[in-house]
Amino acid sequence: MKIKFYLLCISVLLSPLAAFAEENAPPEQTQNVQRIWRDTQNRAITATFRGVEDGNVFLQTKDGYVYRIPLDHLVPEDQKIARQLKPEGLGIPADPNVAQAAARIDEVVAYGLKAKGVTPNALASDEQFCRRVYLDLVGRIPTREETMTFLADTSSSKRAKVIDKLINSDGFNARMFNYFSDMLRMADDAQKAKFFTYEEWFKSQIWQNRPYDKIVYDLMTANGKLIENGASGYLLRDKGMRLDNLSVTLSTFLGANVACAQCHDHPFADWTQRQFYEMAAFFGTTETYDKQNSKKMLIGLRKELTEEELKRVKKLVQVNALEVHATGYNEVKLPDDYKYKDGKPGNSVPLKLIKWEPATDVQKLPLHDPAAMQKLQASRDQLYKTVEASLNKKGGAENPRDIFAKWMTSPSNPRFAMTIANRMWKMVFGIAVKEPVTDLDSASDANNPMLLGHLANEMVRLKFDLRAFMRLLCNTQTYQREAITKQVVAGEPYYFPGPTLRRMTAEQAWDSCVTLAIGEKVDNYKLLRAGQYTAIMDLKGKITASEVRAKLDGMKGAMAKFGGKNKPGKNANMRKMKDSDGDDVDHTKPDVLQGQVLARASELPQPEKDQHFLRMFGQSDRQISDAGSDEGSIPQVLMLMNGETQSVLRNPKSLVLATANKQTGVEKQIESLYISFFTRHPRAEEMKDAKDALASGMTLADLTWVLFNSREFMFVQ
């Protein structure tokens, strides 16, 4: 913990925003406004009280920084006040720099709120905060024990501490994987191969907390076979369809809405079809299938193998031919139906990068200082100049794809940091600063353009460390406010008086159900398939018929294990697996109850089969980017009422019910279920209703059903 000892300063540098925030402090904090604190040497500091812990008082100055001051250094009168004051909602931060950066975000939000005359929401209760932060950072509700520990903790630093604990836990990796596997359309089955290496490569990147720009750079520039280099999975996902792949790349990573321009000039944005092809030309020499090698592999085998064997060998060869490599020839040409005057069908076009109008450069807005703005503009100009120079370099054959990737993932790119910052914001606030996240072409139309620009600058400052960025967002007052209760109309601006009410994502809901069923064991099981798959499928050099036969034999058994294609009619939820007994500590096998595999969504097939809870609840089928859905439907409600998941939770072996059953007295039992499902104690009238229901013949299992089917469980406030 980096806590600086205090520096007493009377004059605090005020940014114009800070001044604004002061005069508009929300009325509910009147007992805890900024005041002047004095120490025994008669030095003074103007600051807000954040709490007392271990004999220190924590005071936040106007610039957002939080100072730790030994309590007995204060004049006795101020010591008394410090002991009496209720700690301000956020409490004591873990890191004064984070607190300062968080306060800065709050200022920018407050500025937007004020401009529209919107009052911010009150700070969320510990119960609301606890449930929300677990769902946002580790993708599941807290266990009963986690909730009780948090609520019982009386220290003022508990919010910051729980954020740090969650950010650094396994659950954070699962949550991030679920987000990115939807964004990137990660599917086990694509191009007649299993994309296990891609999935596990990505998981390892998150696990290592590799900076986002580096991860994306690797995805764009990967070479080699799918089964040897998981990073190649991004380009191989769209084998032979480089235009489609580029269209997804531009909207996903840069928020450039150019999908239309793939086939015709964009009807109402500035992108032209020619521009699209100029961008595609960077990928013109990138090939995603190794035809030559696959042909070679089959030479000599045709005569020696039976037709049936040959068919299976072809599958093997196809998997091995999935490979990214450079050719010497640019294959991108204007399409046959090209109808504009600036080119002819079949012509190739020069490599050229898109630009956004300077007017939409919202990253300049929070800078204030003209010099800083100029510096930013200079870095933008320099980026394009560097690309120009790389392209014009004689004989310096740099792969155009690498040039593109450097430009795209550069901190100076006008859209790359902004896009991921906007996406991460949406992950925890439920709505992005600029919607949709795939279209930032007119970034200045964002609800709060300065906030969008500021978040992009913060992403750059934090060097694309997503863990640090999420930590920052969760430490803001804006995040820790109550969710909006008013209707948020799609398409209407939202200024973030607090987070929005959200239905859990499919993955959050499923992982929460697993948590209810098995508790903290939820993160024990890890799915590992890539190593085995690669060992089975990998073909190197020339092979003989007998070697191939041995390979095919090995394939048979192993592939059955990996599961076939998703066929309707079979009940996807019933697996031939024995229920695990309670003491199972084998981390190589998931828990199973009533035939349901109780593992995190990230450790199950990607995506799950259609009739699985995850899919019925909106998990993306991974055909379209960002396709996870939070919408209800009749089949979904039928599943919630009568499906396997409610049945598992009503099973006396499920942890939630077993724990409730163990409590003595009806009230304790009801309370146990409430804490497990809702992260809070039941209110008096709820207790009464539940007791009446139990008295009238209903069981705790029935109460489990009721809580599971309630909106309060499915929605995050």
- Work out which of 61, 157, 438, 679 binds another protein, going by CB under 8 A: 438
Residue 286 forms beta bridges with which residues? 326
Query: Residue 554 or 632: which CB sits closer to another protein?
Result: 632
Q: For residues 670 and 193, give the distance between their C-alpha atoms in angstroms, rounded to a whole number.
A: 49
We find the least distance from the C-beta atom of residue 128 to another protein, in angstroms, to be 11
The 3-class SS string of 216-243 reads HHHHHHCCEECCCCHHHHHHHCCCCCHH
Q: For residues 227 and 599, give the distance between their C-alpha atoms in angstroms, rounded to a whole number.
A: 25
We find the least distance from the C-beta atom of residue 253 to another protein, in angstroms, to be 13
**Does 445 engage in binding with another protein (CB under 8 A)?**
yes
Judged by CB under 8 A, the stretch of 37-45, 169-177, 253-261, 458-466 that binds another protein is 253-261
Kindly give, in sequence order, each residue whose CB lies less than 8 Å from that of residue 231, ignoring residues fewer than 6 positions away: 198, 201, 218, 219, 222
Judged by CB under 8 A, the stretch of 27-35, 98-106, 247-255, 294-302 that binds another protein is 247-255
Q: What is the residue type of 304?
A: E
Positive or negative torsion for Cα 487, 493, 498, 503: positive
Query: Residue 211 or 414: which CB sits closer to another protein?
Result: 414
Judged by CB under 8 A, the stretch of 122-130, 145-153, 405-413, 697-705 that binds another protein is 697-705
Separation in Å, CA 134 to CA 166, 172, 258, 614: 7, 9, 36, 19
Q: For residues 514 and 517, give the distance between their C-alpha atoms in angstroms, rounded to a whole number.
A: 5
Residues between 465 and 484 that touch another protein (CB under 8 A): 483
Residues between 490 and 509 that touch another protein (CB under 8 A): 490-491, 500-501, 503
Residues between 267 and 306 that touch another protein (CB under 8 A): 267-270
Q: What is the residue type of 501?
A: L
Q: Kindly state the tokens that stand for 110.
A: 């407050």
> Could you identify the residue written with the tokens 């398409």?
491
Q: For residues 531 and 621, give the distance between their C-alpha atoms in angstroms, rounded to a whole number.
A: 25
We find the least distance from the C-beta atom of residue 35 to another protein, in angstroms, to be 35
We find the least distance from the C-beta atom of residue 177 to another protein, in angstroms, to be 20
Query: Residue 22 or 445: which CB sits closer to another protein?
Result: 445
Q: For residues 215 and 204, give the distance between their C-alpha atoms in angstroms, rounded to a whole number.
A: 10
We find the least distance from the C-beta atom of residue 293 to another protein, in angstroms, to be 22
Which among 665, 658, 638 is positioned nearest to 701, based on CA atoms? Answer: 658
Query: Distance between the two ends of the chain, CA-based, in angstroms?
Result: 30
**166-604-228 Cα angle (round to 5):** 95
Which among 575, 470, 552 is positioned nearest to 169, based on CA atoms? Answer: 470
We find the least distance from the C-beta atom of residue 370 to another protein, in angstroms, to be 24
Q: Kindly state the tokens that stand for 391.
A: 């392209």
Residue 47 forms beta bridges with which residues? 35, 61
Residues between 558 and 587 that touch another protein (CB under 8 A): 566, 568-569
**Does 431 engage in binding with another protein (CB under 8 A)?**
no
* Per-residue binding letters, 335-364, with another protein (x by CB under 8 A): ---------------------xx-xx----
Helix, coil or strand: residue 50: strand
Q: For residues 43 and 225, give the distance between their C-alpha atoms in angstroms, rounded to a whole number.
A: 66
Residues between 663 and 692 that touch another protein (CB under 8 A): 683, 686, 689-690
Residues between 618 and 657 that touch another protein (CB under 8 A): 618, 621, 623-625, 627, 629-639, 641-643, 647
We find the least distance from the C-beta atom of residue 608 to another protein, in angstroms, to be 12
8 Å CB contact between 349 and 334: yes
Other beta carbons within 10 angstroms of residue 585's beta carbon come to 7
We find the least distance from the C-beta atom of residue 131 to another protein, in angstroms, to be 13
- Work out which of 307, 336, 337, 581 binds another protein, going by CB under 8 A: 307
Query: Residue 357 or 547: which CB sits closer to another protein?
Result: 357
Query: Residue 142 or 618: which CB sits closer to another protein?
Result: 618
We find the least distance from the C-beta atom of residue 346 to another protein, in angstroms, to be 18
Residues between 8 and 67 that touch another protein (CB under 8 A): none
Query: Residue 23 or 308: which CB sits closer to another protein?
Result: 308
We find the least distance from the C-beta atom of residue 250 to another protein, in angstroms, to be 9
Helix, coil or strand: residue 542: coil
Query: Residue 355 or 375: which CB sits closer to another protein?
Result: 355
> Could you identify the residue written with the tokens 């969760």?
474
We find the least distance from the C-beta atom of residue 418 to another protein, in angstroms, to be 14
Residues between 164 and 223 that touch another protein (CB under 8 A): 185
- Work out which of 451, 513, 703, 716 binds another protein, going by CB under 8 A: 703
Query: Residue 157 or 619: which CB sits closer to another protein?
Result: 619
Query: Residue 333 or 434: which CB sits closer to another protein?
Result: 434
**Does 251 engage in binding with another protein (CB under 8 A)?**
yes
Q: For residues 668 and 671, give the distance between their C-alpha atoms in angstroms, rounded to a whole number.
A: 5
Segment (H or E) for 558 = helix 545-562
Query: Residue 44 or 706: which CB sits closer to another protein?
Result: 706
Query: Residue 248 or 470: which CB sits closer to another protein?
Result: 248
Query: Residue 25 or 269: which CB sits closer to another protein?
Result: 269
We find the least distance from the C-beta atom of residue 712 to another protein, in angstroms, to be 4
Segment (H or E) for 289 = strand 286-289
Which among 673, 508, 657 is positioned nearest to 594, based on CA atoms? Answer: 657
Query: Residue 126 or 439: which CB sits closer to another protein?
Result: 439
Other beta carbons within 10 angstroms of residue 233's beta carbon come to 27
Query: Residue 78 or 182: which CB sits closer to another protein?
Result: 182
We find the least distance from the C-beta atom of residue 516 to another protein, in angstroms, to be 17
Residues between 590 and 619 that touch another protein (CB under 8 A): 610-611, 618
Indicate the pairing of strand 44-53 with strand 56-61. antiparallel
Per DSSP, which regions of 121-274 are E strands? 189-190, 193-194, 224-225
We find the least distance from the C-beta atom of residue 121 to another protein, in angstroms, to be 12
We find the least distance from the C-beta atom of residue 492 to another protein, in angstroms, to be 8
We find the least distance from the C-beta atom of residue 245 to another protein, in angstroms, to be 8
User: Would you list the DSSP string of 66-107?
Assistant: EEEEEGGGB-HHHHHHHHHSPPPTT-S-S-HHHHHHHHHHHH
We find the least distance from the C-beta atom of residue 686 to another protein, in angstroms, to be 6
Segment (H or E) for 552 = helix 545-562
Query: Residue 247 or 534: which CB sits closer to another protein?
Result: 247
Segment (H or E) for 593 = strand 591-593
Q: At 323, phi and psi to the nearest 5?
A: -150, 140
- Work out which of 204, 208, 374, 710 binds another protein, going by CB under 8 A: 710
Judged by CB under 8 A, the stretch of 60-68, 243-251, 413-421, 536-544 that binds another protein is 243-251
